[in-house]
Amino acid sequence: MGHIIGIDLGTTYSCVAYLEGNEPRIIPNLDGLSTTPSVVSFTTSGERLIGNLAMRQAITNPENTIIAIKRLMGKKFNSEEVNDTKNRILYRLAESPNGDAVVELDSRLISPQEISAMILKYLKECAESYLGDKVTETVITVPAHFDDHQRQATKDAAKIVGLEVIRVINEPTSASLTYGFNTKKNATIAVFDIGGGTFDITLMEINDGIFQVLATNGNTYLGGEDFDNRILDWLIDEFKKENNIDLSQDKLALQRIKEAAEKAKRELSFTLESEIHLPFICSEKSGSKHIRKNLTRKKLEELTRDLVDKALPFIEQALNDSKLGCENIDEVILVGGQTRMPLIRKTITEFFGKEPLEHINPDEIVAMGAAIQSGILKGKMKDLILLLDVTPLSLGIDTENDIFIRIIEKNTTIPCKKSRSFTTVEHNQRRVKVKVLQGESEKSSENKPLAVFDLVGIESASAGVPQIDVTFEIDSDGLAKVSAKDVYTGKEQKIEVRPSFGLTQEEINKIIKRT
């Protein structure tokens, strides 16, 4: 039997692991490094570069270098998040015929799933080279607050490169498996996960090999990219004050500044001051201009404190949902490279009243947990016997007057199945349109539509007489199926919730043929 790999497909960096015996091990990439930049670049000669090679030429080829693609997975082009992203990236976005946000490269439109598949293909090749064997199965991780569309898009990306996803697992849950594997003790833990693009907080109870998620919350648009952008904006503003030159439309300059901003941010996790020196950033009649600024840790904290504070209400909500207080949390685990920032560590320590664990590598813990989960699914991990995850968002249907009726509440343990009865609102109504939504607002219009289908052939009767049972079923990957049944006639309609946008099976097959 071949190896199953665990993949942490990150916004800025990705990581892959496997089980060696019963021990999770990180698989190095082809450069010998434990993590790979989630970057794809296309050269003028048509060559495709992945990871470190793509990063190395990003400055000279910014318009054809794709970064942070994870933030666009399962997103509409006209969504608020994509509109914000468009102002921050150097490559072009476009709207596909079905409304998706896609990358525009020359005259070609490339979906986020296909870009992600290119990264996954590289990780798969790294694993096959390291293990000396074909790899066809994976456990892949996603942010806990990814919705149904984003989870399906992630599975589609893996399918494109011939990887069967045997389980989609939430990133904080995956991290907790690594913690439980290393400590072998019972505890109630908080996993604070902030990586390049997303933030999650998950509260979990570990008891005699049973890992049960109590509550999860988060923001899929809060991460290290936002911290980098604060430094970038500061440098552009300072340069404009000193030289009366606006660099915000100079893509070559922006890429250089962005890389310098990320480098300075990383340095300030370990030092109190970082020098940012970018010679010949632009030229004008009076000569070449340079950026030379000292960024202190104190200044960085001033620029980004509101981003750190933005995470706290999500933690409070998760504690409230789980009916726990900070005093009930035994351990705090930090996940994601952004958690190396001293201000984040200080804020989380003050919030929970205890120091986070220091001995776990935040860049590797998620991929290792995915590898452990593969062992659980295959019956190899005898001490870790059960993982009980939850659905991060409520699922329900739209009813009269823009009212959202929840059928499955958020933080319900999955897999699960729940039903609720409805009726008609008009006399002799023979058809009912079922609109499936995901979210927490009481108003349907403020939640995310997942699917729409019709139940036809309903019993002809007065309004309020027919009984229509709507059933939601969520599998262990967090993906939903919905059915509606007229109890009297037995007429039933079922649908596996695949988004009205996203890739069709035909589109997936076309991408597979050209990759």
Between residues 385 and 409, the one the model is more confident about: 409
Question: What is the dotted CATH code of the domain comprising 224-305?
Answer: 3.90.640.10
224-234: pLDDT as tens digits: 999 999 999 99
pLDDT digits (tens, 9 = 90+) for 246-262: 999 898 899 999 999 99
What integer pLDDT is reported at residue 182 of this predicted model?
Answer: 74
Distance CA 92, CA 81 (A): 15
Instruction: With a cut of 90, say whether residue 284 has pLDDT above it.
Output: no
List C-alpha distances in Å: 139 to 296, 507, 509. 40, 23, 22
pLDDT tens-place string over residues 232-248: 999 999 999 999 999 99
Amino acid found at 6:
G
Question: How would DSSP label each residue in 434-472?
Answer: EEEEESS-SBGGGSEEEEEEEEE------TT-S-EEEEE
Q: Is 193 among the residues known to form the active site?
A: yes
Tokens of 447: 């939640």
Look at residue 59 in the predicted model and tell me its pLDDT. 86
CB atoms near residue 429 (< 10 Å)? 17
In the predicted structure, residue 111 carries a pLDDT above the cut 90:
yes
| Catalytic residue, candidates 137, 148, 171, 226 | 171
Per-residue pLDDT at 448? 86
Measured between its terminal Cα atoms, the distance across the chain in Å is: 26
Pairing of strands 137-142, 4-8: parallel
SS (H, E, C) 325-373: CHHHCCEEEEECHHHHCHHHHHHHHHHHCCCCCCCCCCCCHHHHHHHHH
Give catalytic status of residue 321 as yes or no: no
Is a pLDDT exceeding 70 seen at residue 393? yes
Name the CATH architecture for the domain at 4-222+310-390: 2-Layer Sandwich (3.30)
CATH 3.30.420.40 domain range(s) in the chain: 4-222+310-390
What is the pLDDT averaged over residues 189-194? 95
**What pLDDT is recorded for position 386?**
75
Residue identified by tokens 């609109």 is: 435
Considering the candidates 100, 147, 156, 193, report the single residue annotated as catalytic: 193
Residue 461 has a pLDDT of 83
Domain with CATH 3.90.640.10 in the chain: 224-305
Strand pairing partners for 403? 399, 443
> Which percentage of the chain shows pLDDT scores above 70?
97
Q: Tell me, what's the pLDDT at 385?
A: 65
Q: d(Cα 194, Cα 308) in Å, to the nearest integer? A: 10
Q: How confident is the model at residue 384 (pLDDT cuts 50, 70, 90)?
A: low
pLDDT at position 216: 93
Task: Determine the pLDDT at residue 215.
Answer: 94
List pLDDT tens digits, range 429-440: 888 888 888 899
Confidence of residue 1 (pLDDT cuts 50, 70, 90): low
Residue of 8, 473, 477, 486 marked catalytic: 8
Q: What is the mean pLDDT of residues 153-168?
A: 94
Look at residue 383 in the predicted model and tell me its pLDDT: 64
Cite the residue boundaries of each domain of the chain with CATH code 2.60.34.10.
Answer: 395-496
Distance between CA atoms of residues 12 and 70, nearest Å: 9
Greater confidence (421 vs 287) lies with: 421
Residue 269 has pLDDT above 70, yes or no: yes
Can you list the positions of beta strands (E) in 377-507?
386-390, 395-399, 403-408, 413-414, 416-422, 431-438, 448-456, 468-474, 480-486, 492-496
Say what the pLDDT of residue 311 is.
96
Residue among 70, 75, 76, 258 flagged as catalytic = 70
Q: Which CATH superfamily is domain 395-496 in?
A: Substrate Binding Domain Of DNAk; Chain A, domain 1 (2.60.34.10)
Examine the pLDDT at 14 and tell me if it is beyond 80. yes
So what's the pLDDT on residue 501?
A: 53
Instruction: Render pLDDT for 46-80 as a digit per residue (tens, 0 to 9).
Output: 899 999 999 988 888 989 999 999 999 988 899 88
pLDDT at 279 over 70: yes
Residue 498, pLDDT > 60, answer no
Q: What is the mean pLDDT of the chain?
A: 90
Q: Edge-to-edge, what's the strand order for the sheet holding 431-438?
A: 403-408, 395-399, 431-438, 448-456
Q: Over 60: is that where the pLDDT of 499 sits?
A: no
In this predicted structure, what is the pLDDT of residue 159?
A: 94
More confident residue, 393 or 40: 40
Q: Is 327 a catalytic residue?
A: no
How large is the average pLDDT for residues 190-198? 93
**Is 0.85 topped by the overall pTM?**
yes
